[in-house]
Amino acid sequence: MYDIDSPRSRQLLVIILGIITCLGPMAIDLYLPALPTIAREMGEPQGRIQLTLSAYTIGFAMGQVIFGPLSDRFGRMNVMLPGMIGYVVTNLLASMAGSANELIAVRVLQAMSGAAVTVCIPAMVRDMFPRQQCARVLSSILLVMTIAPLVAPILGGQLLKLAGWQSLFLFLAFLGVLAFVLAFTCLKESLPDDRRSPMKLRDLGRTYWSVVSHRPAMSCILAHSFFFGGMFAFISGSPFVYIELFGVSPDNYGFLFALNIIAMGICNLINMRLMGRFELRNLLLFGCSAACVAGLGLLLSASIGIGGLAGVVIPCMLFVGVMSFTGPNANALALEHFPKTAGTANAAAGVMRFGIGGVTAGLVGVLHNGTAVPMAAIMAGCGVLSLASLILLGGYRDSGQTETMEDEVDHAPSGHQKAA
């Protein structure tokens, strides 16, 4: 047993939750270098194989609608552990897919399983920590999680070269087994019985409406969601742009992709340093503004063809990097308004993020025209909408609701909120 009052115990908790959270990005980033290969071997158009990414994001959004409220009703671990089992099974099925339709269907189910895992992590953190600590812990988890997208495309390129694209999904199944063992042996329930919310359909609809109709919370949620959409446009479009358009080999694609994750890690360290000096809203505003500028710069470069590969890579690095200023801060600011229903509120935010991400990833495939312009235009548009959402819906002006002493006590570590 360990107590989260101890700094060393908190660090261990962050590492464990960060490793488990890696299941989501690994399922997306590991197979990116294989997209052109999968299209060729299945005899499918590139745009159709890109829809497997949209299928994952849409399935992830659907899963969060279901599993967020379930985690509020039955507890985080009772939702997360079955989700890990589903993650293993669906990856095994994905390795046996023989067509784009089969892979799309399995990826939806795979994403729903992954959502059962991912939706519980911020809710567990919110169960255990008050707002400022919540933002810091989420940022620390993001720092651990950056390992996955940093190594995933590089590892994916090497596995593709050595054992074919099917090996990527077998490797993900193996990771799912390891995560299950880690969660089962090292974590305990963070939501005690007396704080669980009864799940009635009418009350569930009311809870979701309370999130959607809360302007300051939705401002933060949409600000990060549109940014998230731009990032998924990059994830969907970059394999074609880098590999097919600029001639980068699939096993080297991962190294270019890793530059974005390095930028994200650097920005995350800066964000954590600045948290004690600046309001979270100011840091979120900076992240949205930087994403907007980077997206517009990318569109200019892609449209007139200046800078070649570097003219695309550098703006993409800046755009993806500032996720560290939007994700943890937007999450903490939004969830502070819903201390009793953090799982459902986080699910609503996840639906927005991955719903928009699914649409933008699909648009990149639909608008595919042999250039980098569709990807760049969607990323630029998402950057503008991210900044506009934060400013126009009032999230930046809202001074926030300071948690009451009752909430502080509610979220102070207790015997129920210790991890083993």
> Which portions of the chain are predicted below pLDDT 70?
1-7, 130-132, 134-135, 143, 146, 150, 191-204, 339-344, 394-420
Of 287, 360, 283, give the one whose Cα is nearest residue 318: 287
Number of domains in the chain: 1
Question: Rounded distance, CA 213 to CA 229, Å?
Answer: 21
Residue at 17 is within a domain:
yes
Residues 236-275 have pLDDT tens digits of: 888 888 887 888 887 788 788 888 888 888 888 888 788 7
Query: 353: helix, coil or strand?
Result: helix
Other Cβ atoms within 10 Å of 399 Cβ, number? 8
DSSP 8-class letter at 14? H
* Residue located via tokens 């200019």: 300
Give strand pairing partners of 419. Answer: 2
Question: Rounded distance, CA 124 to CA 377, Å?
Answer: 37
Question: Rounded distance, CA 115 to CA 60, Å?
Answer: 5
DSSP 8-class letter at 419? B
DSSP 8-class letter at 242? I
Burial per residue of 22-47, b for 16 or more beta-carbon CB atoms within 10 angstroms, e otherwise: bbbbbbbbbbbbbbbbbbeebebebb
Query: 201: helix, coil or strand?
Result: helix
CATH number of the domain at 164, please.
1.20.1250.20
pTM score of the predicted model:
0.67
**Alpha helix locations (H) across 75-193?**
77-94, 100-118, 120-128, 131-145, 147-163, 166-186
Structure tokens at 239: 């394999």
Predicted pLDDT of residue 89: 94
Structure tokens at 368: 């595919």
Question: Rounded distance, CA 64 to CA 113, Å?
Answer: 9
Residue at 322 is within a domain:
yes
Burial per residue of 265-302, b for 16 or more beta-carbon CB atoms within 10 angstroms, e otherwise: bebbebbbeebeeeebbebbbbbbbbbbbbbbbbbebb
Given CA atoms 318, 156, 64, 133 in this order, what sign does their dihedral have?
negative
Residue at 1 is within a domain:
no
Given CA atoms 203, 217, 77, 21 in this order, what sign does their dihedral have?
positive
Angle formed at CA 109 by CA 106 and CA 112, multiple of 5 degrees: 150
Rg, Å, the chain Cα set: 20
* Domain coverage including residue 222: 7-417
Residues 60, 62, 66, 67: what is their CA dihedral angle, to the nearest 10 degrees?
10
Question: Rounded distance, CA 57 to CA 50, Å?
Answer: 12
Residue at 2 is within a domain:
no
